[in-house]
């Protein structure tokens, strides 16, 4: 049994981690933290919880005194790195669900998060935790930056085509829709019920959303040259789920079958990425799971492919993928706790 801790167990990703970890037979939860709700029992916040229900939330400072093998950071960016550094220097492995360990370069982080990186010394060690693309690098690693939710949906759709060398020069265009849990538990003027219910609107369009930084990092790595992105995220009146429509300019005259074949070949044998042959992916089919559903087709009359991608932002886009990363880092079966 490995000892696991969660920092930020009262947020949406922390809650989802508790759900997955409670089904994982090879771990024990040694702490879950909250600064505001320390002292409360988990059963008071999460009455549905079976295992761990009698554990009590503690503060981050108290957690530093607990013996633990791996911690999940479910904290705002900046806070993640601050706490991550404390645990890393104590020899504890870290999976950060926030953005602080997703970049290999501190200047790139500062460009997108508008603050200096709090512990740049660890960035050389971190790996981008997109398991289907970095599995070998993640195994045995002590710090992993779990990808963002929009980036997970987008990159799983786009990377196979860049790797196959069929994407023409020019920006990749992504139109994505997210459920409101993507914005975290605290409502804001633009995310509370009345603003979001029965409507849909775009926000941070073009290249202004901070997820563009990590997406361009990974798209460019795969192309082997700078790859730009035009990204239009939308907030939709649903609790969870992301649907991304990824438009790729094509270098060659490929058919829909060719495009589907590229996805089938790249993800053959993957347990959590499925290629739909005829249906368009729906977020409903991914809810509460670690699945990514993909479909590719050729757009008639123009040299472009449209790849659609659906995930649960709290599943494959956060906690599910974080468990997959933990499994690789600790040498468990990659599927443990996720089926
Ligand atoms: N929501 C998603 O779909 C999603 C997907 C992928 C990645 N992420 C990333 O995952 C991280 C967590 O997201 P979330 O949606 O779970 O956020 P959330 O619902 O807003 O929860 C934030 C958590 O962080 C704790 N916290 C806040 N400020 C803190 C501070 N200064 N010091 C220590 N703890 C603090 C809160 O605890 P208390 O208030 O109880 O103290 C709470 O448990 C973020 O970096 C987010 O960008 C989120």
Q: What is the pLDDT of residues 253-307, one digit of tens each?
A: 899 999 999 999 999 999 999 999 999 999 999 999 999 999 999 999 999 999 9
Exposure string of 32-70, with b = 16+ CB inside 10 Å and e = fewer, is bbbeebbeeebeebbeebeebbebebbbbeebbeeebbb
- CATH number among 3.90.940.20, 3.20.20.140, 3.40.50.300, 3.30.360.10, domain 149-312: 3.30.360.10
Phi, psi of 68 (to 5 degrees): -150, 150
For the chain, what percent of residues have pLDDT higher than 90? 98
Ligand 1 and 227: CB distance under 6 A: no
- CATH number among 3.40.190.10, 3.40.50.720, 3.40.50.150, 2.60.120.1440, domain 2-147+317-330: 3.40.50.720
Ligand 1 and 86: CB distance under 6 A: no
Question: CB within 8 A of 273, min separation 6: which ones?
Answer: 132, 156, 267, 291, 292, 294
Q: For the chain, give the number of residues.
A: 339
Cα separation of 25 and 319, whole Å? 17
> What is the average pLDDT across 243-258?
96
> What is the average pLDDT across 308-316?
98
Tokens of 84: 């991550």
> What residues does each domain of the chain span?
2-147+317-330, 149-312
In this model, does residue 140 exceed pLDDT 90? Answer: no
Ligand 1 and 79: CB distance under 6 A: yes
In this model, does residue 209 exceed pLDDT 90? Answer: yes
List, for residues 97-123, the tens digit of each pLDDT value: 999 999 999 999 999 999 999 999 999
**What confidence score (pLDDT) does residue 3 get?**
98
Between the CA of 294 and the centroid of ligand 1 the distance, in Å, is 28
Look-up of token digits 């980036």 = 151
Neighbours of 12 (CB within 10 A): 21
Between the CA of 255 and the centroid of ligand 1 the distance, in Å, is 43
Ligand 1 atom, smallest distance to 16 CA: 16
Cα separation of 188 and 190, whole Å? 5
The end-to-end CA distance of the chain, in Å, is: 19
**Are the C-beta atoms of 105 and 59 separated by less than 8 Å?**
no
**What confidence score (pLDDT) does residue 252 get?**
86
Ligand 1 and 97: CB distance under 6 A: yes
**Helix 12-21 / helix 320-330 crossing angle, nearest 10 deg:** 50
Between the CA of 5 and the centroid of ligand 1 the distance, in Å, is 15
């Amino acid at each position: 049994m490995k000892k696991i801790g969660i920092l930020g167990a009262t947020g949406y990703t922390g809650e989802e981690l508790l759900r997955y970890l409670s089904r994982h037979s090879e771990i024990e939860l040694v702490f879950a933290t909250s600064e505001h709700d320390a002292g409360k029992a988990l059963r008071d916040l999460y009455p549905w919880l079976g295992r761990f229900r009698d554990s009590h939330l503690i503060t981050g400072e108290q957690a530093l005194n607990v013996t633990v093998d791996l911690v999940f950071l479910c904290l705002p960016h900046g806070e993640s790195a601050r706490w991550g550094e404390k645990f890393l220097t104590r020899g504890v492995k870290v999976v950060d669900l926030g953005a602080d360990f997703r970049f290999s370069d501190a200047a790139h982080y500062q460009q997108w998060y508008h603050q200096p990186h709090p512990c740049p010394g660890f960035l050389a060690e971190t790996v981008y935790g997109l398991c289907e693309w970095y599995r070998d690098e993640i195994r045995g690693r002590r710090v992993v930056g779990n990808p963002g939710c929009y980036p997970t949906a987008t990159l799983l759709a786009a990377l196979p085509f860049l790797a196959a060398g069929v994407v023409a020069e020019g920006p990749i265009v992504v139109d994505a829709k997210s459920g409101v849990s993507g914005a975290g538990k605290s409502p804001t003027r633009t995310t509370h019920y009345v603003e979001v219910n029965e409507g849909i609107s775009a926000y941070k369009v073009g290249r202004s959303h901070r997820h563009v930084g990590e997406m361009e990092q990974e798209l460019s790595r795969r192309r082997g040259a700078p790859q730009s992105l035009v990204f239009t995220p939308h907030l939709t009146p649903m609790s969870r789920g992301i649907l991304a429509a990824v438009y790729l300019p094509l270098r060659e005259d490929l058919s829909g079958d060719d495009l589907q074949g590229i996805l089938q070949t790249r993800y053959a044998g993957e347990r959590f990425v499925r290629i739909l042959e005829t249906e368009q992916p729906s977020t409903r089919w991914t809810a509460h799971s670690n699945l990514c559903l993909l479909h590719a087709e050729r757009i008639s009359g123009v040299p472009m492919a449209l790849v659609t991608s659906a995930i649960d932002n709290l599943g494959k886009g956060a906690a599910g993928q974080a468990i997959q990363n933990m499994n690789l880092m600790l040498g468990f079966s990659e599927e443990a706790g996720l089926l």
